[in-house]
Structure 1
Amino acid sequence: MAPTTLYPRATLKKTLKAHANKPLAKNVDILVFLNYTLFLQEVMKEARIESKKAGERGVSARSVRKVRENCLRKFKG
């Protein structure tokens, strides 16, 4: 069974090259994708905590908006 890709590697590499103006490592797209995945995981974890504090049954857009800025600060490079 052939492995499936989770994201379009070529498109991501082209986008990164266009914005970087520097030489990039061979696997930079993988690192960016993994960092993005960790960021989303952190946002959902914090939003889940926030929604439980507010007494909500599930994660809402309001709880995600509350934690978004703090998570963006954590992942700023």
Structure 2
Amino acid sequence: MPPTLYPRAQVKKTIKAHTGRPMSKNADIMIFLNYTLFLQELVREAAIRSKQAGDRGITAKSVRKVRNNVLRKFKA
């Protein structure tokens, strides 16, 4: 079995605790990949917003401003 780049057992345990439902074999992988895509998009949008605002780097303010739009994109 290839090594994982994230704590697979912990992800499964967390998902099961929040949903209370069983998961298929590789659902945790799909959830983790979706999560990483979400974070990547959030950082990209926050960087654009920071640059437009004239900030030197990504700030918490820029992340908060783009958070809802990015969440809407990833809502299932």
TM band (smaller chain) = 0.7 to 0.9
Listed as ranges, the gaps of 5+ residues in structure 1 are none
Deviation, structure 1 residue 12: 1.4
Q: Provide the secondary structure at the position in 2 that maps to 1:24.
A: coil
Could you list the structure 1 runs, at least 4 aligned residues long, displaced by more than 6 angstroms after superposition: none
TM-score after normalising by structure 2: 0.84
1:59 and 1:14 mapped to 2: Cα distance?
32
Root-mean-square deviation (CA, aligned residues, Å) is 1.6
Unaligned stretches of 5+ in structure 2? Answer: none
Tell me how far apart the structure 2 counterparts of residues 5 and 46 of structure 1 sit (CA, whole Å): 28
Aligned partners of 2:66 and 2:33: how far apart in 1?
20
What is the rounded CA distance, in whole Å, between the counterparts of 2:25 and 2:3 in structure 1? 20
How far the C-alpha of 1:44 sits from its partner, in A, is 0.5
The residue type paired with residue 72 of structure 2 is: R
State how many pairs are aligned.
75
